[in-house]
Structure 1
Amino acid sequence: MGYRLAACAEMIYLDQPFEERVRRIHERGFEIEIWDWTTKDLRALADTGAVFSSMTGYVRGDLTTDDGIDALLESAARSLEQADALDVARLGLHGTGLGEGGLPVRPVETTSGADWLRAADTLRRVAELGERAGRVFTLENLNTAVDHPGVPFARAADTIALVSAVDSPALRLNLDLYHAQIGEGNLVDLVRRALPWIGEIQVADVPGRCEPGTGEIRYEAVAQTLRDIGYEGVVGMEAWASADSDAALDAFRSAFA
């Protein structure tokens, strides 16, 4: 397979300290994804020798309001500085900041044409930061039906529209297939359509957001599609372990072998 596999240390080995989670995932041969860098000892994580695939690329702000844009750009710049400690390749963004339980800090029912234009302009400015630093920001699609109600620009179709409009190598998609299955479905076609803009892919099964094989998505077919279209990026398991974390990683690897 041309792609590489990563696992999110925020969601498995939950009975272990965070550094030990990273070590175990690394020992199993996976790259590592983390979320909020402000809660981590980055030097200790770097000392594990793991390869860090992605982390959150901002800690506050949004894409469309004056104060939110300023906050997002400032925290994106700080995130780039911290990314050096782990040599993280990709830094994640969402349609707006997420608070407790993944709920948006600024929920939005509808987005106007002006909102779309401001979001694209903000993302252009974020991409410029990434270009200067030699790193890539990724805009993640989310679902609003189950996990993230009120998030603007949440659908995969929305993130594709924004990323393609900016058209910068420093802004790509984090195509999350768990969220896309809930919000849109038709994953094989989605992967094919999104390929020019994909920076990474994240997976979990539906329902439950656990490892592949626990729900309705036939990830073996998705994996074959990725091989067929020559995808060479990262596929990250951002999923809870349904039972044992080692078994969850085994199931993930088996689905994408």
Structure 2
Amino acid sequence: MNTPFELAACAEMQFTDLPLTERVKRIGEYGIAAELWNWHEDHVDLEAIAATGVPILNMNAYINGDLVTPDGVENFLRTAEEGARRSKVLGSPRLNFHGIGLGEGGIPVIKSEVVTGRMWARTTTTLLQLAEIAEKHDVVYQMENLNLPVDHAGTPFSHPEDVLALVEAVDSPRIRMNLDLYHAQIGDGNLIETCRKALPWVGEIQVADVPGRCEPGTGEINYRMIAQRLAEMGYRGTVCMEAWAHADSDTALRTFIETFSNLEVSS
């Protein structure tokens, strides 16, 4: 595998017939890292996952809460700090969060069709507080863009430009952007230029094809071209496949790795 990126795959979305720890092992057999979602659920054994030796690069930051309401901010910051503590078991992977807590089926716990100036101001303050927690625990939190038309209707601060504006405003190396290109394609498009604008603030990039949210090559996105452009831009960070397998996970992982490997990169 000759790639300029650090490749990873979401364990909850691959080998779905296996227990989570076994999924991590299977992903690791491909020589790439894994990422997790809900570390706090009863079936998740972080110690067992750590014992696999497979690097874990990202996991959810928090359990519940939001970035704008008094009670929501309190819950968000409290559980985000607990996420930072628990991440130590896995070597302090990046911790992922969104504009608001997501409930069953990815629907936001509080829908906000209109994001007000007060919400922008409150969210910026919340992220400054989050940066202090990150400094205290020596971790990095990253905010992910989402799509509204298909998966997460009513989620505030979902467009890539919204997330980028917030991360730039906080201006802390402890608060980065998780640029999800699947979500960006559905909501905004213009992926290569979006990558170019966001790259100085990006903690990682996540990928899945559209429609269907399966591995690269199953939809309309030219991920091979995006991989080449990212390499030319000098990106050397994480690219994570947060996608379902169109047929089987072995094929999906091989296709993903091939898409982001053997690129033309000048020395």
Q: TM-score, normalised by structure 2?
A: 0.95
Please name the residue that 1:205 is paired with.
209
Is 2:256 the partner of 1:252? yes
Is 2:35 the partner of 1:33? yes
Instruction: Note the alpha carbon deviations across 1:28-55, whole angstroms, 9 max, x for none.
Output: 1111100011121111111111100000
Q: Is the 8 A contact 1:9 1:21 kept in 2?
A: yes
Q: Is the 8 A contact 1:90 1:137 kept in 2?
A: yes
Q: Is the 8 A contact 1:55 1:88 kept in 2?
A: no
Task: Give secondary structure in 1 for the equivalent of 2:114.
Answer: coil
Q: Where do 5+ consecutive residues of structure 1 fail to align? A: none
Instruction: Note the alpha carbon deviations across 1:63-119, whole angstroms, 9 max, x for none.
Output: 000000000000011000000001132000100001111110111111110100000
Please name the residue that 1:85 is paired with.
89
Q: Which one-letter code corresponds to 1:93 in the other structure?
A: F
Moved over 2 A (4+): none
Task: Give secondary structure in 2 for the equivalent of 1:159.
Answer: helix
- Distance (whole Å) between structure 2 residues aligned to residue 203 and residue 158 of structure 1: 19
The one of 92, 102, 125 equivalent to 1:121 is: 125
Q: Which one-letter code corresponds to 1:196 in the other structure?
A: P
Aligned runs of 1:1-150 on 2, under 5 Å? Answer: 1-39=3-41, 40-150=44-154
Q: Where do 5+ consecutive residues of structure 2 fail to align? A: 262-267
- Distance (whole Å) between structure 2 residues aligned to residue 235 and residue 58 of structure 1: 22
- Distance (whole Å) between structure 1 residues aligned to residue 252 and residue 201 of structure 2: 28
Instruction: Note the alpha carbon deviations across 1:173-227, whole angstroms, 9 max, x for none.
Output: 0000000000100100000000110000000000000000000000011101111
Please name the residue that 2:264 is paired with.
none
Q: Which one-letter code corresponds to 1:21 in the other structure?
A: R
Aligned runs of 1:105-254 on 2, under 5 Å? Answer: 105-254=109-258
Tell me the CA shift for residue 168 of structure 1.
0.2
- Distance (whole Å) between structure 1 residues aligned to residue 125 and residue 117 of structure 2: 13
Tell me the CA shift for residue 161 of structure 1.
0.4
Task: Give secondary structure in 1 for the equivalent of 2:57.
Answer: strand
Tell me the CA shift for residue 15 of structure 1.
0.9
> Number of paired residues?
257
Q: Which one-letter code corresponds to 1:210 in the other structure?
A: C
- Distance (whole Å) between structure 2 residues aligned to residue 97 and residue 179 of structure 1: 17
Q: Is the 8 A contact 1:8 1:238 kept in 2?
A: yes
- Distance (whole Å) between structure 2 residues aligned to residue 29 and residue 247 of structure 1: 15
Aligned-residue RMSD, C-alpha: 0.7
Please name the residue that 2:265 is paired with.
none
- Distance (whole Å) between structure 1 residues aligned to residue 219 and residue 45 of structure 2: 35
